Amino acid sequence: MSAPRVALLGVGLIGGSIGLAARARLGAHVVGWNRSPAALEIALRRGAIDEAVDSLDDLGPADVAIASVSVDALQGAVCDLCERLPDAVVSDVGSTKQALVEAVDREQFVGGHPLAGAESVGVAHAREDLFDGATWYLTPRERTPGVLYERLARFVAGLGAVPTAIDAAEHDRLMAAVSHLPHVVANLLVEQAAQALGGATLPATGPSFRDATRVAGSNPPLWGQIYRANAAALGAQIDELLLRLGEVRDLLREDGDLSGWQAQAALHRAALLKVGMQGDSSREIRVSVPNKPGTVAQIALQLGRAGINIADMTLAPEPDNRTGVIALWVCDGDAARAIELVSGLGYPAA
């Protein structure tokens, strides 16, 4: 995609950073609209957009359109973009995906969620390198046209992020576990410590309590919306934590030895935070596929589930226009497994 035309609905921290990176790294022409004209003015002055428009009707034409507004306003924003920009792949940057993806009945829409920049707000904090190395989840559906998914994944990779396909429900479950639940728990630890201290300040101590509760109370309007939007998955994670916590309490009552449990947690954490094969060289895999909807999404989701990153992707239709070849670049170390997984879907790969 050379010099893509990009439409941004919302130019805050995330939208503004997309604009900065798209212009600087992809040579994109970026047009922006924002509810607040003042923010739009700043975005223009900071070089996050080429052009500011007063009306959504003037955003297009575009190849890629991204809605970067608050969670509550996302559905309307995405629909606005789909209606006005029929040729664009439309995406968003919201922290929860299932409800939105189910509510928006458009083939051209692919949900998105970059794991970056949740802690501050406003175009004033926007940066070209905000997404460098960050996972950027994309939630293609079976009927997502491969060419649109490819365009979006390539755009996101061009901003510096690592596009990672994931099922929308799976995304929400994962975010509930690794982000929303830790935020809830941080709040509760703070409440409980405040209660135990009875108005005194925290004793001078190491950084462990500060670290454990760093996200407590962060951005209340944003987090209020995130909790609500992901209420089902977060509720399930809370239920699970209630069970686990009860088990620990019982172990403790029985004067059980928790040192084995503590050691187990050390292993879990080391496995979770294992450094990825960043320095690994990548390898091309070619997959022969029928030219039908859903194939690209199916392959991307299968690899995403296995934790295999697709560093790059191209689609090449065969002359008969009924079959084609997808070229995927993955880490050397992942190549054998990727071939096995893709072959398992019934597509010859090598």
Of the pair 61, 246, the CB lying nearest a second copy is at 246
Stretch that binds a second copy, among 38-46, 223-231, 313-321, 330-338 (CB under 8 A): 223-231
- Per CB under 8 A, contacts with a second copy among 273-302 are 273-274, 276
8 Å CB contact between 60 and 84: yes
Q: Residue 16 has which token pair? A: 């503004």
Strand partners, 290: 323
8 Å CB contact between 175 and 230: yes
Q: Is 341 in the site for a second copy (CB under 8 A)?
A: no
Q: Is 186 in the site for a second copy (CB under 8 A)?
A: yes
Q: Residue 72 has which token pair? A: 């509550």
Closest distance of CB 309 from a second copy, Å: 9
Q: Is 314 in the site for a second copy (CB under 8 A)?
A: no
Helix (H, G, I), strand (E, B) or coil at 54: coil
Closest distance of CB 145 from a second copy, Å: 26
Q: Quick one: which of 37, 45, 58, 264 contacts a second copy (CB under 8 A)?
A: 264
Query: Which of these, 321, 296, 299, lies nearest to 308 by C-alpha position?
Result: 299
Of the pair 155, 223, the CB lying nearest a second copy is at 223
Of the pair 174, 311, the CB lying nearest a second copy is at 174
Q: Quick one: which of 56, 73, 121, 241 contacts a second copy (CB under 8 A)?
A: 241
Q: Quick one: which of 38, 55, 143, 220 contacts a second copy (CB under 8 A)?
A: 220
Q: Quick one: which of 192, 314, 323, 343 contacts a second copy (CB under 8 A)?
A: 192
Helix (H, G, I), strand (E, B) or coil at 327: strand
The length of the chain is: 350
8 Å CB contact between 148 and 37: no
CA distance 121 to 199: 31
8 Å CB contact between 160 and 21: yes
CA distance 4 to 152: 11
Site string for a second copy, 3-42 (x = CB under 8 A): ----------------------------------------
8 Å CB contact between 145 and 168: no
Q: Quick one: which of 3, 103, 124, 258 contacts a second copy (CB under 8 A)?
A: 258
Q: Quick one: which of 3, 103, 147, 263 contacts a second copy (CB under 8 A)?
A: 263
Q: Quick one: which of 54, 55, 199, 281 contacts a second copy (CB under 8 A)?
A: 199
CA distance 264 to 155: 40
Q: Quick one: which of 178, 327, 336, 350 contacts a second copy (CB under 8 A)?
A: 178
Q: Quick one: which of 61, 76, 235, 348 contacts a second copy (CB under 8 A)?
A: 235
Helix (H, G, I), strand (E, B) or coil at 36: coil
Q: Is 325 in the site for a second copy (CB under 8 A)?
A: no
Of the pair 135, 291, the CB lying nearest a second copy is at 135
Q: Residue 41 has which token pair? A: 């003015």
3-state helix, strand, coil in the chain (%, to 5): 50, 15, 35
Segment (H or E) for 131: none
Residues sharing a CB contact under 8 Å with residue 239, sequence separation 6 or more, in sequence order: none
Query: Which of these, 325, 302, 175, 184, lies nearest to 241 by C-alpha position?
Result: 184
Of the pair 25, 214, the CB lying nearest a second copy is at 214
Of the pair 138, 148, the CB lying nearest a second copy is at 138
- Per CB under 8 A, contacts with a second copy among 102-161 are 115-119, 133-135, 137
Closest distance of CB 286 from a second copy, Å: 25
Of the pair 288, 302, the CB lying nearest a second copy is at 302
Q: Is 70 in the site for a second copy (CB under 8 A)?
A: no
